[in-house]
Amino acid sequence: MNSKLGWLLALLLIAPITNVMAQAEAPYREFDPMEDYLPHVKGDLRLSGSYKHWKDPKNLDWRMAGNPDENWKLNWKFMDPPFNASVHGGHFALDRGETIFKELNVKGRFAACLGARKGNLKGLRAAYPMYRPELKQVAGLEEMIERCAAKAGRVLQNGSYDNSAVSLYIANQSVGMPIKINVTSAGPLQAAYERGRKLFHTRAGRFNLACSSCHTYQIGLHLRGTVVTSPYGDVAHYPVYRTRYQLQSLHLRFAECNLDTRTQPLLPGSRPYTDIEVFLTGLTNGYPVSVPSERD
Ligand code: HEC
């Protein structure tokens, strides 16, 4: 074989490999521009003050300007809490969660593993997700429920009815307490918040949509009969009772939104979903925990 042909063959062989390597180095990712969600709010209040901000009806026409009847859709929670008034499937889930919790909490070990101080569950939900030193990572409450149950020899898979029921039972001890996670000081939680913020704005899937394509630009509008919510406050009423699902954890909701938009969903408890949870929880600071809640 002459040497020129040899070179050509070698190039043909190498070219696709280098092409793949170049792709691996610089994956193509398109971002929606970062929105200035709260143009009128300054400093730390941008996070912790959003509850107050949206509760003030005069701020609610940010997106629905000129149509006061539609204002409530900007923040669904503006109208509805507290949710405890009527009986729905979430109340049955509470009973189930309490039973499992008590079975697991022999000598207070389960509560301690979840991070409850002196076994007191009050306020625990409002402080999640949190950095767990033993894991060296930020974890959501449902992830910790799965891990701590495993220590007691029980499988409570993240996203399962029983896992969400325990999560709901724990959340119910914090009803009315404001969600409070610190994402304004440097640390693992803030890093997770920033990663989550990026993910929330990253387009993906067959329709090339980011979470923000809907949850910032389309809020208040109908998509196939359901209303797109603002990114503020929703976290505070999860896990939620849904007629279709029984109980839906927050990460299952992310998976549903991913599926709806033809994007590969991830497992509940996966790192990217946990990061998005931290981001949405940061935006929910100040909102009272509102469970058991119900969505259609
Ligand atoms: C095509 C638009 C669209 C995209 C993209 C989208 N969502 Fe949604 N999302 C919706 C709609 C519509 C609802 C309300 C559905 C319902 O009520 O059944 C919703 C509901 C939610 C809720 C629950 C709100 C509530 O009522 O409590 C959360 C949380 C959420 N989405 C997060 C996300 C995240 C995170 C992403 C990105 C991974 C995402 N969504 C992507 C349209 C979208």
- Are residues 276 and 193 in contact, defined by beta-carbon separation less than 8 angstroms? no
- For residue 193, what are the CA distances in angstroms to 112, 207, 263? 25, 25, 22
* pLDDT exceeds cutoff 50 at 273: yes
Task: Give the pLDDT of residue 3.
Answer: 63
Tell me the pLDDT tens digit for each residue of 163-214: 999 999 999 999 989 999 999 889 999 999 999 999 999 999 999 999 988 8
Task: Give the pLDDT of residue 22.
Answer: 46
Q: What is the mean pLDDT of residues 252-262?
A: 94
Q: What is the CA radius of gyration of the chain?
A: 22
- Best probe residue, ligand 1, of 229, 235, 248 (max atoms within 8 Å of C-beta): 229
- Using the mean position of ligand 1's atoms as its centre, give its distance from the Cα of residue 33 in Å: 18
- Selection from 216, 200, 212, 204 nearest residue 262 by Cα: 204
Rounded to whole angstroms, how far apart are CA atoms 156 and 150?
7
Which bin fits 244, alpha (ψ -120 to 50), beta or left (φ > 0)? Answer: alpha
* Range among 45-54, 137-146, 173-182, 228-237 with highest mean pLDDT value: 137-146
- Best probe residue, ligand 1, of 214, 216, 219 (max atoms within 8 Å of C-beta): 214
Task: Give the pLDDT of residue 158.
Answer: 98
Task: Give the pLDDT of residue 253.
Answer: 95
- Residues having CB closer than 6 A to ligand 1 are 76, 209, 211, 213-215, 223, 226, 228-229, 234, 253-254, 257-258, 261, 276, 295
Q: 51 is written with which tokens?
A: 């509850």
- Using the mean position of ligand 1's atoms as its centre, give its distance from the Cα of residue 178 in Å: 22
Tell me the pLDDT tens digit for each residue of 112-121: 999 999 999 9
Rounded to whole angstroms, how far apart are CA atoms 139 and 135?
8
Rounded to whole angstroms, how far apart are CA atoms 95 and 165?
8
Q: 41 is written with which tokens?
A: 């709010």
Rounded to whole angstroms, how far apart are CA atoms 74 and 17?
49
Task: Give the pLDDT of residue 81.
Answer: 47
- Residues with Cβ < 8 Å from 163, sequence gap 6 or more? 142, 145, 146, 149, 156, 157, 249
For atom 12 of ligand 1, the residue with the nearest CA is 228
Rounded to whole angstroms, how far apart are CA atoms 204 and 209?
6
- Selection from 151, 141, 98 nearest residue 239 by Cα: 141
Q: What is the mean pLDDT of residues 258-272?
A: 95
- Using the mean position of ligand 1's atoms as its centre, give its distance from the Cα of residue 110 in Å: 32
User: Which ligand 1 atom is nearest residue 223's CA?
Assistant: 12
Q: What is the mean pLDDT of residues 18-39?
A: 59
Q: Confidence class of residue 109 from pLDDT cuts 50, 70 and 90?
A: very high
- Using the mean position of ligand 1's atoms as its centre, give its distance from the Cα of residue 211 in Å: 7
For atom 17 of ligand 1, the residue with the nearest CA is 226
Task: Give the pLDDT of residue 38.
Answer: 61
For atom 27 of ligand 1, the residue with the nearest CA is 234
Ranking 38-52, 71-85, 93-107 by mean pLDDT, the lowest is 71-85
Q: 180 is written with which tokens?
A: 């409070």
